[in-house]
C-alpha cells in the first residue's frame, strides 16, 4: 500500500524536522531524493554512533530515501539540482539556514515560474517573515520560546522534553500540509508554498496551558511526572520500592479509587477532596494518604487493585522494556530495515492498514545513489569522474 508511489520529493534537509517529514512521505511510497554535502552529508549523521556505528537520529528519520551528494554552491551541482527539480520533482522540501534556499534560487516564487504545479515546503524556526525570521533555531531553543520548558519539570527545575518535540511537531505539520497540498493539486492542478514554523507547530501543542493561563491567570505549575491540573494523576511509590503510574479522570473513578484501591470509602465523601480542583489544591495531603496505603503493598498488588477498580495505570518503562513491550510484540509492530551496518529493527508507522504495508526500505549511505541518479540524467562515467574531481558531487 503505497499511495504516494509516483510522487518525487527533492529535499535539502538536515537534523530532524524535514527528515522526519520526508521519511513519512517515503513510508507512503514517495521517492525521496535527499541532497547531502559531499564528504559530510546531513550533520545528523555525526550526532552519535549508537546504532552499531551509525547515528540514532539518522537511522530513525532517513529510511527509504536516496542519497545524492551535491555541493549546491558549485555551479555544475546547481545545474544538476535544477534539472532534477525541473524533470522529476513534485515537491521540494528544505530546512536550510534562514534565506539559504532563496539564495540558491529554490524559492517557490522562482521554481513555480518554470513549474506551476510545484509544491515547496520551507521549514524554519520562526517562519519566513516577522522580526525573528533570520534568528537561528534549534529544538531546545524553540521548546523554550514556545513556553514548553516553563511548564515542564519540577517546581525547582524547568526541563526540556527528552525527544526533540519541536522538530517532531514541525515535521508532522510539514508532512500533513504536503499531503493536503498534493490533494489540492490533484483537484486544481495548482502547486503552492508551505511555510512551516517550529515555533508555531509547538505553540499549537501548548494549547491547554495557554488557555489555562488566559487573561493573565497563573499557568500550570511544574509538577514533575504528575499532572499539573488533575489529581491523583502521576507516579506513586509502592512498598517494594517500585513506582506505579496511575490516573483518574472523573468523580466516578475517584469513588472507585477510594473504595477499591485505598479501601477507605469514607474519603469519597470527604468534602476536602470532593472535586478535582480541591484534590489538586490538597495534592500534598492526598499524596501522603495514598502513599501510606501503598506502602504496605507491592507494585503488583497495587496494579491488581487498580485493574479491579478499572483505574488507568501504567508501568514507567525503560527503553529496553519498550523494545520488548508485550503489546507492541502482540500487534507485530516491529519490522526491520537495512543499513550500511546491517539490519536493525524499526517500528512500523503508526496506523494499521487493511491493504498492504508501508514501505520500509534501507537507510542510505552517504552518496549511495549519486552514480545512479546522474546516470538517469545522462551523465557518463567520465563526466561523473570530472564532477567528483571538482568537488561538485
**CA–CA–CA angle 222, 320, 14 (5° rounding):** 70
Give the burial class of 172: count Cβ atoms within 10 A of its Cβ; 0-12 exposed, 13-18 middle, 19 or more buried: middle
Number of other residues whose CB lies within 10 A of the CB of residue 124: 26
Name the grid cell of 91: 515537491
Give the burial class of 334: count Cβ atoms within 10 A of its Cβ; 0-12 exposed, 13-18 middle, 19 or more buried: middle
Chain position carrying cell 529496553: 320
- Whole-angstrom CA distances from 134 to 42, 103, 138, 202, 237 are 21, 14, 13, 19, 48
Question: How far, in Å, CA of 237 to CA of 295, rounded?
Answer: 7
Number of other residues whose CB lies within 10 A of the CB of residue 212: 14
Name the grid cell of 8: 518525487
CA 269 vs. chain centroid, Å, equals: 44
Question: How far, in Å, CA of 146 to CA of 133, rounded?
Answer: 15
Write out the E strands in the chain: 8-12, 31-36, 65-69, 91-94, 119-124, 192-197, 233-237, 243-247, 312-314, 334-339, 342-347
User: Looking at 184, 193, 227, 325, which residue is catalytic?
Assistant: 227
CA 86 vs. chain centroid, Å, equals: 30
Question: How far, in Å, CA of 26 to CA of 167, rounded?
Answer: 18
Q: In what order do the strands lie in the sheet with 8-12?
A: 65-69, 31-36, 8-12, 91-94, 119-124, 192-197
74 is catalytic: no
List the catalytic residues: 227
Amino acid at each position: 500500500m503505497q499511495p504516494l508511489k509516483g510522487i518525487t520529493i527533492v529535499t535539502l534537509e538536515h537534523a530532524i524536522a524535514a527528515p522526519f517529514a520526508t521519511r513519512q512521505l517515503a513510508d507512503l511510497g514517495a521517492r525521496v531524493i535527499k541532497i547531502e554535502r559531499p564528504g559530510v552529508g546531513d550533520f545528523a549523521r555525526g550526532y552519535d554512533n549508537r546504532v552499531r556505528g551509525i547515528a540514532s537520529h539518522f537511522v530513525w528519520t532517513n529510511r527509504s530515501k536516496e542519497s545524492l551528494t551535491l555541493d549546491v554552491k558549485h555551479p555544475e551541482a546547481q545545474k544538476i539540482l535544477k534539472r532534477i527539480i525541473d524533470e522529476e520533482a513534485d515537491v521540494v522540501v528544505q530546512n536550510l539556514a534562514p534565506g539559504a534556499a532563496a539564495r540558491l534560487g529554490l524559492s517557490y516564487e522562482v521554481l513555480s515560474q518554470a513549474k506551476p504545479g510545484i509544491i515547496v515546503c520551507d521549514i524554519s524556526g520562526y517562519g519566513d517573515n516577522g522580526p525573528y525570521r533570520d534568528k537561528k533555531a534549534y529544538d531546545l531553543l524553540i521548546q523554550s520560546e514556545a513556553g514548553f520548558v516553563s511548564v515542564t519539570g519540577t517546581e525547582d527545575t524547568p526541563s526540556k522534553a527528552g525527544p526533540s518535540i519541536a522538530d517532531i511537531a514541525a515535521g508532522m505539520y510539514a508532512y500533513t500540509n504536503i499531503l493536503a497540498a498534493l490533494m489540492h493539486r490533484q483537484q486544481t492542478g495548482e502547486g503552492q508554498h508551505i511555510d512551516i514554523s517550529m515555533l508555531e507547530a509547538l505553540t499549537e501543542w501548548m494549547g491547554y496551558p495557554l488557555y489555562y493561563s488566559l487573561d493573565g491567570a497563573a499557568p500550570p505549575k511544574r509538577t514533575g511526572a504528575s499532572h499539573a491540573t488533575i489529581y491523583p494523576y502521576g507516579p506513586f511509590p509502592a512498598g517494594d520500592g517500585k513506582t506505579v503510574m496511575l490516573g483518574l479522570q472523573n468523580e466516578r473513578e475517584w469513588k472507585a479509587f477510594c473504595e477499591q484501591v485505598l479501601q477507605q470509602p469514607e474519603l469519597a465523601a470527604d468534602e476536602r477532596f470532593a472535586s478535582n480542583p480541591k484534590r489538586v489544591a490538597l495534592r500534598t495531603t492526598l499524596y501522603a494518604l495514598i502513599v501510606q496505603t501503598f506502602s504496605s503493598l507491592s507494585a503488583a498488588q497495587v496494579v491488581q487493585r487498580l485493574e479491579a477498580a478499572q483505574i488507568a495505570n501504567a508501568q514507567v518503562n525503560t527503553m529496553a522494556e519498550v523494545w520488548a513491550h508485550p503489546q507492541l510484540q502482540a500487534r507485530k509492530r516491529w519490522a526491520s530495515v537495512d543499513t550500511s551496518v546491517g539490519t536493525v529493527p524499526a517500528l512500523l508507522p503508526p496506523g494499521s492498514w487493511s491493504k498492504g504495508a508501508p514501505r520500509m526500505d534501507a537507510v542510505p549511505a552517504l552518496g549511495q545513489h549519486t552514480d545512479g541518479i546522474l546516470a538517469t540524467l545522462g551523465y557518463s562515467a567520465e563526466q561523473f569522474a570530472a564532477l567528483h574531481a571538482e568537488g561538485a558531487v
